[in-house]
Structures are given as C-alpha cells and as structure tokens.
C-alpha cells in the first residue's frame, strides 16, 4: 500500500493529532456503495461500513440527493426551536417502537446519546451508580467513558464515581473459567453478586450493547437478556440498550432488542441512524421523561435538534423498509458467515466465527486448543487485506486484540462477499507462507 508516501506521512504527523494510533496508509478520495477509492482510482472493498455508520452503503443515492437540496431548508437553529424534520423523525421512531419508548431527543454522536441517557437515569432514580460490561464501548465523553471497559481507560485519571463492571458473557473465553463454548449465564449471576458487594446503595442504570462490539463481537442471548432485565428490575437499575451499531437492520431486526422480548428503559441510537451524517438519539418512556422534567433535566448543546441531520434519519428509516435492509442483513449475513466458517475449516489460526446478521467476528489464535490470541498474526493479516483491496478492522479483546469485526454495508452483494472472502483467504495464506 503506497498511498501514504514518506513525505505525506511527515506532513500528516506535523499537522494532525494522532487520535487512533497510526493512520491507515490508504488515503480515500471518494466512497460509493461497498467501496472506497483513492485518488488513483484504486478500489478497496469496505467490510466496516466506514466507522460502522454507512449501514446502507457509502453515499446512498437518497442521502446524496438530500445533501444537494439541503440549502433550501434550515440547517441549524436555537436549541429551543424545533423544526418539521425533528418532529417527523420523532414521530417515525415512535411508530417503530413500543409505547414505552416514545420520547426522543436528538444529538450528534453515540457518546452524546449515552451521556443523555445516563444523566436522565441518574435524575430519575436519584442514584449515580452505572453498571457496564467488560470490554464495552459507550463513548469518549466523561460520563459515557466511565462504563466503557475497553482499551480507552488508562492514563486519564479517575472515571465517574459509581462505575461498576459485569463480566461479559464471552462464550469462547469464559470470564469466570466456568464453561467452554456455551454460556449458561453463571457469569451474570456471579457478576451481579460482585456488583452488589460494591454498591453504596445508589444504583441508577445498567448500560449494554446487544452485541458487545469492541469486546470482540460478543452477542447477548435471549435468555441472558431476560435474566439481566429481571436482575436490573430487582435492584432498581434502569436498563439502557446502546444500539449504536445494531439498529436499523444490521442484526436482522429494525432494532436488536426486538429479538429479546425485553424492552429497555432507554434506547440509544447513533452511527446507523444518520447513514454517515452525525445524528444520534436517546429514547425513553413518557414516565421517565416526566420525572426528569420535574427534576429540572437540562442537556443543551450547540447542535441538539438540528433540522439538517434529522432529515437524514427520516431517509434512513425509509430506505430500511423500502429496500428490506433487515431481511438483506439476515440473508447476506448467513452467506458471509458460511464463507468465514469455510475459511475456519482451512486455517487453524481461525479459532472462532461468531455474531449475527452483518455484524460478525473472526478470532485469530496461535493454537485452537489453548486459544491463545495471536495479535501479531491478526495485524499482519489486516495489513495484507488492505494491500490486496479489503478493509478489515481488528478490535482489541481483553486488552490484547485478535478479533476481526466484520460489518459490511447491508447493501452488499453476494459477489462482493465472495470477493471479500477471496481476498481474506489470499491474505491469510500469504502471511502464513511468510512466517
């Protein structure tokens, strides 16, 4: 990959804050559908949907058309002034959701949507303790960062008081070394007992992703979530589902929680809601909203309820249903997973393939028996994939790394999946041959 020449790299390093380690050597000029392109026209098949935001493909025609017409409408308003797009988006989301999730607030990022939910939960319960999962990622702002237990904690000083952690139900690597390959929810029972020993009696909320993404693609099961909700209700913990990556069809449902037969107290949406534009939402019940209002809830930012971004949320819901994207996620996800499982039969370094819909994980190991992670090999495969024309994202598991987070656009075709599998196959083979 020759995009980032030495001179360009020096210039970039002199101008930009390195916010994600080293920048990719690929410099993108444009994006369309399942591909991104450099200035020379080289195409890279994108198996991450950008930052998991371009869920229906890069530069969807409806989104592009709306962008070109945006100058005729209001882009930004005073925070207390509403607009037709904001009201329409709130109405459309309420139509999609249970009656207990009908009060919306629109902000810009997942960090913000979770920040709003956490602040409201604290105000509604008069508590301040927030429980999150090991390996979770809920944002980079102070409140959302505190129950984020991935790699972003070290070096920044104390987190918010009352941040408590549950072990994640990581079937491939049982966090309490109790079972292997099949979670029986013992980790939940033990974890909640440990949390109970830490609490000072001021519980507020439990925040959870339906699939723990940065933790290495750890899906929650229906029985697990049902029991989790029971344990939360017993303790007065409001349940927040962070569906930044799982909403709008990616797991085969409009919202992932629909598969659990459990309704959360808060639903937070981001990434997929804007289709690449900065749009996020916090949704809760009329009862919780009323209590927060009476207690003086305030959360005002420069771009809360901006009409411009709300327009794209409306379009995303239209595209979701018109193009049957949830159904596509199930069909294409099964097809992709079959291809990954075929690779697992070929390569011993693939320890596990897991996930649902078009949010899949592929774990790289040194040895299938010991399940020791192979971070170096995973990084080499990722680099080789990019060189051969495939963007693949490695996430750090338990602070070490080794799992590919595979989340292509829901508009992806079987031919594009075949190409991705072919490139991944070639990359693994080339790296193993170089060892």
Find the angle CA(426)-CA(427)-CA(429) to the nearest 5 degrees. Answer: 65
Four-CA torsion 304, 307, 308, 313, nearest 10 degrees: 90
Tell which residue, 54, 14, 22, has the closest CA to residue 383.
Answer: 22
Tell which residue, 197, 207, 200, 203, has the closest CA to residue 235.
Answer: 203
Per the listing, tokens 């292997």 go with 180
| Paired tokens of 223 | 């029985």
Angle between helices 286-294 and 110-125 (to 10 degrees): 70
Tell which residue, 303, 262, 260, 292, has the closest CA to residue 106.
Answer: 303
Per the listing, tokens 């289709």 go with 275
Q: Which residues contact 163 (CB under 8 A, 6 or more apart)?
A: 129, 130, 132, 146, 147
Whole-angstrom distance, CA of residue 381 vs CA of residue 404: 10
Residues 407/358, Cβ–Cβ less than 8 Å: yes
Helix, strand, coil % in the chain, rounded to nearest 5:
40, 20, 40
Q: Which residues are catalytic, by number?
A: 137, 209, 242, 245, 271, 405
Four-CA torsion 204, 208, 214, 219, nearest 10 degrees: 160
Whole-angstrom distance, CA of residue 268 vs CA of residue 257: 11
Whole-angstrom distance, CA of residue 32 vs CA of residue 307: 25
């Amino acid at each position: 990959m020759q995009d980032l020449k030495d001179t360009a790299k020096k210039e970039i390093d002199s101008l930009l804050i390195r916010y994600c380690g080293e920048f990719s050597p690929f410099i993108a000029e444009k994006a369309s559908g399942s591909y991104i392109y450099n200035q020379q026209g080289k195409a890279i098949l994108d198996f991450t949907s950008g930052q998991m935001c371009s869920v229906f493909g890069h530069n969807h025609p409806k989104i592009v058309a709306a962008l070109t017409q945006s100058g005729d409408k209001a882009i930004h308003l005073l925070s207390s002034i509403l607009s037709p797009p904001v009201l329409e988006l709130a109405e459309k989301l309420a139509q999609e959701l249970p009656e207990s999730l009908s009060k919306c607030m629109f902000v810009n990022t997942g960090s913000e949507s979770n920040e709003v939910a956490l602040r409201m939960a604290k105000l509604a319960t008069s508590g301040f303790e927030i429980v999150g999962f090991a390996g979770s990622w809920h944002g980079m702002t102070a409140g959302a960062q505190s129950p984020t237990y991935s790699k972003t904690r070290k070096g920044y000083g104390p987190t918010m008081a009352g941040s408590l952690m549950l072990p994640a139900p990581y079937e491939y690597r049982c966090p309490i070394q109790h079972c292997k390959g099949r979670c029986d929810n013992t980790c939940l029972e033990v974890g909640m007992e440990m949390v109970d020993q830490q609490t000072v009696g001021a519980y507020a909320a439990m925040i959870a992703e339906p699939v723990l993404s940065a933790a290495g693609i750890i899906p929650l099961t229906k029985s697990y979530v049902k029991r989790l909700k029971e344990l939360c209700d017993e303790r007065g913990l409001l349940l927040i589902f962070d569906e930044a990556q799982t909403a709008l069809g990616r797991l085969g449902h409009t919202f992932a929680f629909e598969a659990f037969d459990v309704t959360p107290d808060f639903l937070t949406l981001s990434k997929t809601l804007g289709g690449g534009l900065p749009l996020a939402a916090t949704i809760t019940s009329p009862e919780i909203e009323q209590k927060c209002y009476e207690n003086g809830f305030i959360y005002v930012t420069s771009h809360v309820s901006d009409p411009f971004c709300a327009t794209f949320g409306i379009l995303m819901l239209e595209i979701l249903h018109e193009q049957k994207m949830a159904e596509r996620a199930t069909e294409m996800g099964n097809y992709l997973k079959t291809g990954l499982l075929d690779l697992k039969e070929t390569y011993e370094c693939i320890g596990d393939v897991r996930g649902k819909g078009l949010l899949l994980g592929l774990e790289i190991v040194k040895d299938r028996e010991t399940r020791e992670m192979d971070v170096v090999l995973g990084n080499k495969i990722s680099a080789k994939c990019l060189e051969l024309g495939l963007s693949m994202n490695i996430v750090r598991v338990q602070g070490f790394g080794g799992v590919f987070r595979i989340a292509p656009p829901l508009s992806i075709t079987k031919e594009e999946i075949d190409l991705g599998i072919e490139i991944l196959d070639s990359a693994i083979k080339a790296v193993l041959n170089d060892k």
